[in-house]
């Protein structure tokens, strides 16, 4: 249970609606001291807040009074904490029933506010799973992200889309279950290409009976559930038996299935068959930077790994970074029963209790000193060290390119955030605006944005499309962050286009009062040759860079990424427009009734030409709805 009450403030100054301006360390100590006098000796979470409302730090405590009182003794504080106390102008508190609840709330608030004095897990993407869909007569094998649905079976998580796609590809060769959507499955009249290349058994047209299909589903579940050796041995026995019976074609199919299963296991550089499920966290620190390498083990199999580079204070030791990282990592996903860590984690018992509370089962955090688990951790640490070395080398090169970009365009310093804009359409159809983002660590893909052009007048007009995109992007940014405090504001806006597009961008930013954001247009040279690009900067004549200039290659890469994203988004929208049925425009027609109508009539055109009595005969279509459908296709007649 969490109590969000904030204790009554002990001074008029601390209770003022207008917090005092940033001041000295003595000011911060005095303000914090006023809060300490009214705080309870109970578990909870505290927030330190700057004069402009920025949350500087989120912390948890077994006793709020004792923990916050520590900040009033600056001689015992590290340098970064002294800076934090100096900037603190007010505080907020939440009392909880236990320290474990406080830890869960702390991780939630850290993800919400992203305080600069906390360790921050900056990559919060969800992980993909493999799902066996049970909500259909013929179960489907597919990739899944997002909310799980009751009744389906999920296996994972996999560390990346590449890992899950590779496994799914091999599984479809080993276990030929259908992978198509329900819409495709229900309309097939003959086997598709997947059947021809032996990756599906064509249940859609009755090429396999239900018991045999169910047996394959059970094999998939057994393999993904850890019975991989048993499944392979059974397939080997069946292959040998088929060969002995002179059924060589069947034996060859079984041989290929066994090879596919072997291919899945060959990609596992780290595996622990003795452990059913575990996550491995390995840390390597160098030069004030940290890499946390995470491996996922399920059913003794390695489902891939991912490297993270959390933001943190340079004076924090790896155990402290690891404790904060693990807490945030599991803030929105359940922890497995075992977590292996390369270091002793700070407050391990408390973290175990909090993770168990969130997951609904016991969680153990272990730092093995010997045996196969220690060997696996050592290998994971090597991966972390190599990933950090690559990261530092890439950042060094990227920083040089950003410095070169600042020099070329006369910026005050290397841009921390570059936004690149492009449009895509075909003669005004399916118009799309696209924004990609780059920074010191390369492309920031979770910041990419697409804009469906709303104005019919803008569709097909590149200048009007660019105006709409920029007005929407920066208009919303001003509404959500008028003080421009967060890091989502660009230092440089790069427009794919020449003088005309640049002038539109300049006008939009001027109208919004954002003249301090640098804008540049990049246009291909004569005959649209790459390497002869011309750059347009407000107040300067157009210019080009030397063909072998590394900054030119960098800017080309930014422009090309925006172009790729815009084209891909446009194609996706165009495909959706093509597949959209005329039934989608009928009020009251959802997915279920649309499916029933298509099953009954075969096409939307047939529905449009059907009589009222024929439409009434469709299961699930009431007389009132049938009349609506009939009137819709006849203009109300």
- 8 A C-beta contact, residue 110 and residue 118: yes
pLDDT lower than 70: segments of the chain: 1-23, 122-125, 226-228, 260-261, 263-274, 313, 315, 426-428, 459, 525-531, 574-582, 584, 602, 635-637
Is 495 inside any structural domain? yes
pLDDT of residue 60: 92
Q: Are residues 193 and 308 in the same domain?
A: no
Is 510 inside any structural domain? yes
pTM of this structure:
0.62
132-185 confidence digits (pLDDT tens): 888 888 988 888 888 888 888 888 888 888 878 888 887 887 788 888 888 888
Q: Are residues 425 and 567 in the same domain?
A: yes
Q: Of 389, 410, 440, which residue is a domain's last?
A: 389
Is 292 inside any structural domain? yes
Is 412 inside any structural domain? no
Q: Are residues 177 and 209 in the same domain?
A: yes
Q: Are residues 383 and 349 in the same domain?
A: yes
What is the greatest pairwise CA distance in the chain? 93
Q: Are residues 462 and 563 in the same domain?
A: yes
CATH number, domain with residue 27: 3.40.1440.10
Measure Cα distances from 257 to 24, 232, 233, 242 in Å: 70, 9, 12, 14
Q: Are residues 571 and 600 in the same domain?
A: no
Alpha carbons 325 and 320: distance in angstroms, whole number: 9
Q: Of 209, 232, 266, which residue is a domain's last?
A: 266
CATH number, domain with residue 339: 3.30.420.340
Q: Which residue has the tokens 């291909």?
A: 524
pLDDT of residue 199: 82
Question: What phi and psi values does residue 314 have, to the nearest 5 degrees?
Answer: -65, -20
- 8 A C-beta contact, residue 88 and residue 50: yes
Q: Are residues 71 and 198 in the same domain?
A: no
Is 406 inside any structural domain? no
CATH number, domain with residue 603: 1.10.150.20
Q: Are residues 151 and 260 in the same domain?
A: yes
Question: How many CB atoms sit inside 10 A of residue 335's CB?
Answer: 22
Is 407 inside any structural domain? no
| β pairing state of 492-496 and 418-426 | parallel
**Residue of 63, 60, 121, 116 lying closest to 87 (CA atoms):** 116
The count of structural domains within the chain is 5
pLDDT of residue 123: 63
Q: Are residues 109 and 255 in the same domain?
A: no
| Domain ranges, residue 80 | 2-113
Q: Are residues 566 and 426 in the same domain?
A: yes
568-578 confidence digits (pLDDT tens): 887 777 666 55
Q: Are residues 100 and 174 in the same domain?
A: no
Q: Of 213, 240, 266, which residue is a domain's last?
A: 266
* H or E, element range at 277: strand 277-286
Is 179 inside any structural domain? yes
- 8 A C-beta contact, residue 319 and residue 345: yes
- Residues with Cβ within 8 Å of 620's Cβ and at least 6 positions away in sequence, in order, are 592, 593, 596
Query: Which of left, alpha, beta for 53 (phi over 0: left; psi -120 to 50: alpha)?
Result: left
Is 428 inside any structural domain? yes
Question: What phi and psi values does residue 224 have, to the nearest 5 degrees?
Answer: -70, -20
Task: Give the single-character DSSP code of 9.
Answer: P
The DSSP code sequence of 399-466 is: HHHHHHHHHHHT-SS--S-EEEEEEEEETTEEEEEEEEEEETTEE-GGG-EEEE---TTTTT-HHHHH
Q: Are residues 424 and 566 in the same domain?
A: yes
């Amino acid at each position: 249970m969490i109590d969000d009450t904030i204790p009554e403030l002990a001074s008029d100054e601390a209770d003022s609606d207008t917090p005092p301006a940033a001041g000295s360390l003595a000011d911060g100590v005095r303000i914090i001291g006023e809060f300490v006098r009214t705080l309870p000796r109970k578990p909870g979470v505290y927030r330190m807040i700057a004069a402009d409302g920025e949350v500087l730090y989120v912390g948890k405590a077994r006793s709020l009074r004792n923990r916050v009182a520590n900040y009033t003794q600056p001689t015992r504080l590290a340098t970064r904490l002294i800076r934090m106390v100096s900037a603190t102008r007010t505080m907020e508190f939440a009392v909880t029933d236990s320290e474990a609840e406080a830890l869960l709330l702390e991780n939630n608030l850290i993800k919400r506010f992203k305080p600069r004095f906390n360790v921050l897990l900056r990559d919060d993407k969800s992980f993909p799973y493999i799902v066996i869909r049970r909500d259909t007569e013929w179960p489907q094998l597919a990739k899944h992200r997002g909310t799980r649905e009751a009744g389906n079976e999920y296996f994972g998580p996999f560390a990346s889309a590449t890992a899950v796609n590779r496994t799914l590809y091999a599984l479809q060769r080993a276990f030929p279950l259908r992978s198509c959507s329900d819409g495709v499955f229900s309309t097939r009249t003959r086997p598709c290409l997947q059947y021809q290349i032996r990756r599906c058994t064509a249940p859609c047209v009755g090429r396999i009976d239900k018991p045999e299909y169910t047996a394959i589903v059970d094999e998939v579940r057994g393999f993904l559930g850890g019975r991989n050796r048993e499944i392979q041995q059974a397939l080997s026995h069946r292959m040998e038996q088929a060969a002995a019976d002179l059924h060589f074609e069947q034996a060859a199919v079984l041989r290929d299935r066994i090879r596919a299963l072997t291919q899945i296991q060959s990609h596992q550089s780290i595996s622990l068959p003795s452990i059913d499920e575990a996550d491995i966290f390995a840390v390597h620190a160098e030069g004030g930077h940290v890499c946390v390498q995470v491996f996922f083990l399920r059913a003794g199999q390695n489902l891939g790994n991912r490297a993270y580079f959390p933001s943190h204070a340079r004076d924090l030791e790896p155990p402290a970074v690891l404790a904060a990282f693990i807490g945030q990592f599991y803030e929105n996903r359940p922890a497995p029963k075992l977590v292996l860590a390369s270091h002793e984690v700070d407050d391990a018992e408390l973290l175990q209790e909090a993770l168990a509370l969130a997951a609904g089962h016991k969680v153990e955090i272990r730092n093995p000193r010997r045996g196969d688990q220690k060997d696996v951790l050592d290998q994971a640490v090597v991966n972390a060290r190599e990933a950090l070395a690559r990261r530092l080398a890439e950042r060094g090169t990227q920083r040089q390119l950003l410095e070169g970009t600042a020099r070329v365009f006369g910026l005050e310093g290397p841009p921390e955030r570059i936004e690149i804009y492009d449009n895509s359409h075909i003669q005004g159809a399916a118009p799309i605006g696209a924004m990609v983002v780059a920074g010191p660590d390369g492309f920031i893909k979770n910041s990419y944005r697409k804009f469906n052009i709303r104005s019919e007048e803008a569709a097909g007009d590149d200048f009007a499309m660019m105006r709409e995109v920029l007005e929407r992007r920066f208009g919303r940014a001003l509404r959500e962050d008028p003080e421009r405090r967060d890091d989502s504001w660009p230092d440089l806006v790069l427009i794919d286009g020449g003088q005309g597009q640049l002038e539109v961008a300049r006008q939009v930013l001027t109208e919004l009062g954002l003249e301090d954001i640098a804008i540049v247009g990049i246009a291909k040279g004569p005959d649209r040759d790459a390497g002869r690009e011309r750059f347009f900067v407000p107040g300067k004549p157009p210019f080009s860079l030397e063909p072998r200039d590394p900054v030119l290659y960098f800017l080309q890469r930014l422009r090309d990424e925006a172009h790729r994203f815009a084209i891909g988004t446009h194609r996706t929208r165009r495909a959706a427009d093509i597949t959209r049925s005329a039934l989608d425009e009928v009020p009251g027609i959802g997915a279920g009734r649309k499916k029933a109508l298509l099953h009954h009539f075969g096409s939307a055109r047939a529905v449009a030409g059907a009589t009222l009595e024929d439409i009434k005969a469709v299961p699930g279509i009431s007389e009132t709805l049938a009349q609506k459908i009939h009137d819709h296709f006849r203009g109300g007649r």
